[in-house]
Amino acid sequence: MSDDTRPILFFDSGVGGLSVVAPTCALLPMAPIVYAADSAGFPYGTKSEGEIAARVPALLGRLAERYHPRLIVIACNTASTIALPAVRAALDLPIVGTVPAIKPAAQASRTRTIGVLGTEATVRQPYVDDLTARFAADCTVLRYGSAALVELAEAKLAGEAVAPDAVARELAGLFGQTGGDAIDVIVNACTHFPLLEDEMRAVAPAGVAFVDGGPGIARRVAVLTQGQDWPREPVVHQLVFTRLGDREARIGTHLRAHGFASPETL
């Protein structure tokens, strides 16, 4: 058996993709990880489709040249719902995208009312219309785009406190809509949001369930890498930012405890 050190590359605008890394590492504990955050382009959710489409394939091309991954996970709903076909066309590698987990949410909902919580860019994508029509046609699907929750998740991982009021205000964007009090499942349609799940549960109505794409992506990565070799010894994961400022340095310090080397810049 050979010692295959080619990593899996996870890409997001910031720390959100770590919510996809965690279930993947749980399934594939020997997988070497490169985690790439486009901190210079953060946040994506308030950008136009054109900006995301121009930025993401080019960056992933540079990252693929530098790190030679065996597979790339776009661990970002915003980038995936806008740029996945362009990335797949540009790179000769398996690319796994992250799209809103509307299907499992519709399967789990008893009230047939689900909330989709994403970035402003994600919730307006036709991709979300398609997923709703295919998997939740008999549900009322309410959407809310939150830039504030993205910021709060970044702040949390940089060691800052998260104010419960700020989280509650964003959830009110869903529950405050007409019919919103019937929501029993929330789709975390931004990879940053599972990082705030404890804070969201603390302020959400009792019994509301949260679903996200992380576990499904981990299973998909396991299928796509089935039969491949992994390093015999655990390797240190790599962390790369497109801009390395104070906040990124603090995030880097936090991630050292999770097996990541000091951050690099692209």
Interface with ligand DGL (CB under 6 A), residue from 7, 14, 180, 216: 14
42 binds ligand DGL (CB under 6 A): yes
Candidates 9, 183, 190, 218; binder of ligand DGL (CB under 6 A) is: 190
Spatial distance between the Cα atoms of 72 and 35, rounded to a whole number of angstroms: 10
The least distance separating ligand DGL from the CB of residue 4, rounded to whole angstroms, comes to 29
User: Between 12 and 248, whose beta carbon lies closer to ligand DGL?
Assistant: 12
Nearer to ligand DGL by Cβ, of 6 and 142: the residue is: 142
With CB under 6 A as the contact rule, the residue among 119, 132, 225, 242 that binds ligand DGL is 119
Task: Point out the catalytic residue in the list 72, 190, 211, 240.
Answer: 190
Q: Which residue's entry shows tokens 């991630």?
A: 255
Name the residue with tokens 């994600």.
122
C-alpha torsion sign, points 133, 136, 137, 139 = negative
Pick 142 or 150: Cβ nearer ligand DGL: 150
Q: Which of 7, 11, 16, 115 binds ligand DGL (CB under 6 A)?
A: 16
The site string for ligand DGL over 224-253 (x = CB under 6 A, - otherwise) reads ------------------------------
CA–CA separation, 112 and 183 (whole Å): 8
Q: Which of 69, 134, 65 is nearest to 99 (CA)?
A: 134
Given 20, 31, 60, 76, the catalytic residue: 76
Diameter over CA atoms, the chain:
59
User: Is 190 tagged catalytic?
Assistant: yes
For residue 12, the minimal CB distance to ligand DGL (Å) is 5
27-35, 38-46, 136-144, 156-164 -> range binding ligand DGL (CB under 6 A): 38-46
The one-letter code for the residue type at 163 is: A
Nearer Cβ to ligand DGL (16/173): 16
CB of 74 to ligand DGL, least distance (A): 9
Q: Is the dihedral of CA 169, 170, 175, 178 positive or negative?
A: positive
Please say which residue, 12 or 199, places its beta carbon nearer to ligand DGL: 12
Return the half-sphere exposure (C-beta side, CA atoms, 13 A cut-off) of residue 224: 18
Whether 139 is catalytic: no
170 binds ligand DGL (CB under 6 A): no
192 is an interface residue for ligand DGL by CB under 6 A: yes
* Residues that are catalytic: 76, 190
Binding site for ligand DGL (CB under 6 A): 12-14, 16, 42-45, 76-78, 119, 122, 150, 190-192
